[in-house]
A and B are shown apart, each in its own frame.
Chain A
Amino acid sequence: MAMSVDLPPTRPASAARRPGFLSRLFAEYGQEIVVLAAIVVLFIVVTMVNPRFISANNLTTIFAGNAYIAVAAIGMSMVIVTGNIDVSVGALIGVLATISGTLAVAGYPVWVAWFFPVLVGMAIMGVQGVLVAYARIPSIVVTLGAMSILRGGLISVTGGTWISGLPSEFLLAQQRWFGVPSPIVMMVVLTVLAFLWMRYSAFGRSLYAVGGNPEAALATGIPIERRIVAVFVIHGAFAGLATILFATQLQVIQSTVPPNLELTVITASVIGGVSILGGSGTVIGSTLATILFAAIGSALIFVNVSAYWLRAVIGLLILATVLADMMRRRGKA
């Protein structure tokens, strides 16, 4: 590769001292800003074509209906930041939703039906974390195997039947808190808390070190194995919280695995700026990306594009975002 010998242009000392606030913001949160800008542009353009796009009804569908994906993507982002991946999360959410619905129909108190699956999710992900950290099986292999086990197990136990007759107080996602649909409140609160925790706590910072430079992390005294197990357990908890929102949306729960859910969650994390190589990214980005996908899906309907082309358009946008991100990173380097 050719080496550049151009010297940077000389600048007055005062300006050279420190880059401005905006450029620092962009350097650190470039991808998040790009996704946010895409959302804003999309909303403006689609609303001009069809003003009903920003009706309260449709906004609720976009934000509340997809909040569970954003919540699951928080945990996934943490896993990816440590340099691992989880393809079993879709199957896990399917299993947990079935457990949750079965408990609710069997007459257990609703808080048991909501939170017992969270514990199950933490346990299942904890086992996977141990296999990754201590048995040193690559996370793609462990979670691929776990996906088969969970998916096969779910269908052979339930036969893919629908769970109906859910008690109305179980339907948390249909509630409103402070006048706002509860999934939106949960999505925003969890995203902000997770972001602050990852950015300012010693534990959160150490996750970036584990993913960015494991050798340096080890030299600094970070127990890498324990961190990886912990991050999988936390990811399991977020999958459980996502399940609460997913399972309580409708009057029925279909006891199968939502198709391609794991890919949607991974894609949201990555498009939101979490580097698949580990070591960088924030959960604000993953939540914004979830909203962007949901908005695109809805927008296509409002501008009368056939639903059959939905995935192609989303795929094209994912590809464009990834390519733009790679160009941006290369430009910076």
Chain B
Amino acid sequence: MNLKSLIRHETFLALLLVAVLIVLSFQSDRFFTVSNLLNQGRLMTETGLIAIAMTFVIATGGIDLSVGSILGLVAILTGVFWHNVGMPLGLAAVAAIAVGTFAGFVNGLIITRFRVPPLIATLATLALYRGLAEGISQARSVRGYPDWFYVLGQGEVLGVPTQLWILVAAAIIASVILAYTRWGRTVYAIGSNEVASRFSGLSVEKTKLALYTASGFAAAVAAVIFVSRVSTTRSDMGTGIELDAITAVVLGGTSIFGGRGTILGTVIGLCLIQALKNGLSLAGVKGDGTIMLIGAVLILAILASNLFERSGTR
């Protein structure tokens, strides 16, 4: 059964993660400390939130390339609504998140109503949303937020970075939805065989519309956390984050063709990438070397799981 190979991929990945953690902790005594690990959690929240939503999207056989641009647009709008329009900051953030969610909804409409393939639809909106961010910002950034706003991106709750709580909550809720609800099963069904799902009376279009909307929402929330973490807004924020998120999802065992994948896998994939990034930078490898390694890990992990799977099922 499919479940068996799923378990195998995640076990394999978890073992890889443990091995990486052990190797890295020998490389630098600063790596395996609570403060460092918590800080890494802080850094992976934005990509993490996007990757969790992306897991659903990819599990239906779709993709959302526009999340990085939505992040940039929402970041800019948060600043503009607050600073230029004069809304209270809390309201500005909520309004910006609403716009980001709507941007995701538009993606969903284009994909479900006009039957544009998700890759093309979100490629087009990637350009559009980033363009809107650039046009609205006119290359100006907004800084100087009130102190309470930084709690989200730089503060702690019970000794743990605030946004890490959000990520953990999102991961738990998402994995329950995907694994145990009728709605989650629908996601897998669409990814396995969309036509059959439609004939079985599943609401394929509604589900997809909801997923792309959720993806926009996740990117929007990530944007507000991002602004709070780095204390400024820029229109190029989030450039390339879609690729980081897709890497985490695919590394986590979600099939790019849809039909299988778990939130747990995505979370392990995320941790693996973040551990590599951090461990290597502590070991003195520059960020660019790390990017290379992530690319290699992505290809090798899928290669390895393909080999396992072929010896098992075919």
Contacts and interface: CB of A to CB of B under 8 A. Distances in A.
Q: Do these two chains really belong together in a complex?
A: yes
B119 A85 contact: yes
> What range describes how many residues of A lie at the interface?
35 or more
A326 B128 contact: no
Interface string B285-314: 010111111111011001100100000000
A180 interface: no
Contact of B117 (A131, A136, A146, A276): A276
A270 interface: yes
A315 interface: yes
B131 A315 contact: yes
B230 interface: no
B299 A141 contact: yes
Contact of A267 (B123, B138, B139): B123
Interface in A297-313: 306, 308-313
Given A137-B303, A152-B289, A315-B124, A326 B132 contact: no
B256 interface: yes
B129 interface: yes
Contacts of A107: none
Nearest to B309: A136
A202 interface: no
Contacts of A146: 295, 299
Interface in A117-149: 131, 135-138, 140-142, 144-149
Nearest to A155: B288
Contacts, number: 141
A156 B121 contact: no
A149 B294 CA distance: 8
Contacts of A312: 128, 131-132, 134-135
Interface string B101-145: 000000000100011110111011111111110110111000000
A323 B110 contact: yes
A263 interface: yes
B250 interface: yes
A330 interface: yes
A85 B123 CA distance: 13
B288 A152 contact: yes
Contact of A152 (B138, B247, B292): B292
B201 to A, nearest CB: 15
A135 B300 CA distance: 11
A189 interface: no
A318 interface: yes
A153 B292 contact: yes
B295 A152 contact: yes
B246 interface: yes
A140 B256 contact: yes
Interface string A146-168: 11111111111000000000000
Given A277-B117, A308-B138, A322-B121, A148 B127 contact: no
Contacts of B124: 267, 315, 318-319, 322
B257 interface: yes
B125 A311 contact: no
B31 to A, nearest CB: 21
Given A156-B288, A312-B131, A323-B116, A263 B295 contact: no
Q: Which 10 A-B pairs have the closest CB atoms?
A: A148-B295, A315-B128, A312-B131, A311-B131, A152-B291, A152-B292, A315-B127, A149-B295, A145-B299, A156-B288
23 contacts: A87-B243, A131-B299, A138-B257, A140-B63, A141-B250, A145-B296, A145-B299, A148-B247, A149-B291, A151-B288, A151-B291, A155-B288, A263-B126, A267-B123, A308-B135, A311-B131, A311-B134, A315-B127, A316-B128, A319-B125, A322-B110, A322-B120, A323-B110
Given A135-B303, A137-B306, A155-B291, 8 more contacts: A135-B306, A138-B257, A140-B246, A150-B295, A311-B128, A315-B127, A319-B110, A322-B121
Interface of A: 85, 87, 131, 135-138, 140-142, 144-156, 259, 263, 266-267, 270, 276-277, 306, 308-316, 318-319, 322-323, 326-327, 330
